[in-house]
A and B are shown apart, each in its own frame.
Chain A
Amino acid sequence: MKEKIADLEEKARRLRVAIVKTLHKSQSGHTGGSLSAIDMVCALYFHKMRHNPQEPTWDGRDRFVLSKGHAAPALYVTLAECGYFPSEDLMMLRRLGSHLQGHPDSKGTPGVDVCTGSLGQGLSMANGMALGLKLDGKDNRVYAVLGDGELQEGQVWEAAMAAAHYKSDNLCAFIDSNGLQIDGDVSKVMNVSSISDKFKAFGWNVIEIDGHDMGQIIAALDAAEAHKGAPTAIVAKTVKGKGVHLFENKASYHGVTPNDEELPEALKCLGCFD
């Protein structure tokens, strides 16, 4: 297990490098939230989820919904690393004609099942998938990643209510709780605390973890799968911009990309000396 965790940590480091390079190239996109979510996305795609990059629409796959769609770079670099599409495509992020849209678009990108990015909608979609899979008697699981600022959207709680009502225990949602949103601290813009208490009150199984601790992420995913009768929320304390001190815990890096001056330092932080 120790080896597995070390492997995943190394994978996540490489994915962070890819995020920084991709966003430096595109000069448009969301750096902070991509770096805060990447460890969870990495654990899902390289450890937990059943999926087949050679057959993106494989019937037996588990499903993933990036509800905080602005972290698209985290998803894109992961899909590219898995082999869903060539890594060179990443250099076309957000360009006219690219399948890599600013926010995930199921029409063009292999491995993306739904369109997200307008916040608050992904959990509803994920629960719809969970209901449909259960209806078919399948044991496939559905994973979602939401932001903590995103929890301010009322639809999230409509979905939370419905998922508990229908006992969607094949649904597991990460809350990427980096504490920051565009206008500043989540607690100051519109306090959503306590996230865990809210999900518990809605009838969810709740697990609190450090969202950058690979061991905790994996353990939480296993515990979520083992829990029957209710969906699981993994409330993950994270650091916006994690891994690059220039970006860490800065709301100003929500929608800002690394510039030419920052790039070498950012890559150095990530142990990349190419």
Chain B
Amino acid sequence: MIATRDAYGEVLAELGGENDKIVVLDADLSGSTKTGVFAKKFPNRFFNMGIAEANMVGTAAGLASVGKIPFLSTFAIFAAGRGWEQIRQALAYPKANVKVVATHGGVTVGEDGGSHQSVEDVAIMRAIPNMTVIVPADGEETKGAIRAAAAYKGPVYVRLGRNKVPSVFPAGHKFEIGKGVVVVPGTDLTFITTGLMTAQAVIAAEKLKAEGISARVLHIGTIKPLDKELVEEAARETGAVITAEEHSVVGGLGGAVAEFLGETCPTLMKRVGVYDRFGTSGKSDELLKYFGLNAETLIEEAREIISRKK
């Protein structure tokens, strides 16, 4: 169990030692986003921009244009939300080599409430041309994703979480941008999941096995570009797809999969996520239950979709 943001802090500091082109910007949240680990090790290459996200994005664009590889971090709501137009104009439009690593995505922000719970960031980042959008499942995948983002030339949005999450991938897991991973094989239906919902899908698949339902778990770490090959294969081979994400069902992973399958391979489908509403204050585990973002919901939806298949 490790929070993806903690894995980020660790790997970013490692990368800092390997590549002196890497610079880091934060907007007064370096303790929470874990960029503080890098800041302590490489103070000259760390820029605290204060509570001014728009300027932080533009500054990163300038740093990239003189050859740096900037990583900028703040909470997802401020990175993607406050900085959206700057990310579009200054990063994506010119294909600037800047990595936006947003922590505290989704409802697990918890007690801070709906104002701080970003359930739209993946949708609005995904809508921008040239953007790559990554939502790791666990700490190991986060490390791989951050390394892949650093090696990739162009803008990347990585969405991380606040809380500790169960491990899905073994140590040393190789992350490849744009490649999904079949975590659990299965034939009756496929859970196509991202972020912390992948661990929940693994639990659900295990329990469904006892009922004689064979559920595949396809983890999509890169929402954009979507691994169309594995998604289509899952749809064709299992005939039913349930997407799950800690994000609005509008425009995120569920949206991406529905758009793609609707045009190429119409399939029985259900999207599990936040149904077009804002978050609310509460403990993160309470909120996951409140929004139905857990294995229990996936099991119910699996039974439902299997009954529709017949």
Contacts and interface: CB of A to CB of B under 8 A. Distances in A.
Nearest to B66: A132
Interface in A111-130: 113-115, 117-118, 120-130
Contact of A162 (B49, B67, B70, B85): B49
B65 A159 contact: no
Interface residues of B, number: 30
A164 to B, nearest CB: 12
Contacts of B64: 128
A89 interface: no
A86 interface: no
A159 B55 contact: yes
B52 interface: yes
Contacts of A161: 50, 52, 55
B67 A132 contact: yes
B52 A121 contact: no
A225 B155 CA distance: 33
B90 interface: yes
A114 B59 CA distance: 11
B251 to A, nearest CB: 23
Contacts, number: 108
B68 interface: yes
A65 B85 CA distance: 18
A49 B62 CA distance: 18
Contact of B58 (A113, A125, A165): A125
Interface in B143-159: none
A105 interface: yes
Question: How would you classify the secondary structure of chain B's contact residues: helix, strand, loop or mixed?
Answer: helix
Contacts of A120: 54
A166 B86 CA distance: 21
A161 B27 CA distance: 13
B62 A155 contact: no
A129 B95 contact: no
Contacts of B50: 158, 161-162, 165
A125 to B, nearest CB: 4
Contact of B62 (A117, A128, A165): A128
Nearest to B90: A121
B62 A125 contact: yes
A118 B95 CA distance: 16
Given A125-B61, A159-B55, A135 B86 contact: no
Given A105-B94, A124-B86, A159-B58, 15 more contacts: A115-B89, A121-B54, A121-B58, A125-B65, A127-B58, A127-B62, A128-B58, A130-B62, A132-B67, A135-B23, A136-B66, A154-B54, A155-B52, A162-B50, A166-B47
